[in-house]
Amino acid sequence: MIFISAISCNNGKSTDKTQNNDTIPDKPEYNQDSASEDVAILMINPDGETEYVVGNTNNIYRKTKSGLEFKYIESGKTQTYPKVGDVVYFDMTYATANDSVVFDTKLIDPNFKMRITPPSHAGGCFEEALMMMSVGDSMAFKIDAKNFLQITQGKVFVPSYVKEGDKFIFRIKMKKLVDGSDYAIQNAETYKYYIDQENSLIERYALEIDYPRKTTKSGLNIFTISKGAGKKPVDGNLVTIDYTAGFIDGSVFDSTIERNKPFRFVVGKEEAIECLDEAVKAMNVGDHCLLIIPFRLAYGEEKNGVVAPFSTLVFEVELLSAE
Q: Which positions are annotated as active-site residues?
A: 243, 253-254, 273, 299, 315
Q: Which residues are bridge partners to 7 per DSSP?
A: 44
Residues 6+ apart with CB under 8 A from 238: 264, 265, 266, 267, 322, 323
**In the chain, what is the straight-line distance between the N-terminal and C-terminal CA atoms, in Å?**
61
Residue type, 322: A
% helix / strand / coil in the chain, to the nearest 5?
Answer: 20, 35, 45
Cβ burial, residue 48 (10 Å; 0-12/13-18/19+): exposed
Q: Please give the Cα distance from 17 to 78 (Å, whole number).
A: 10
Q: Which neighbouring-strand residues pair with 217?
A: none
Q: Are 322 and 230 in contact (CB under 8 A)?
A: yes
Phi then psi dihedrals of residue 58, to 5 deg: -70, -15
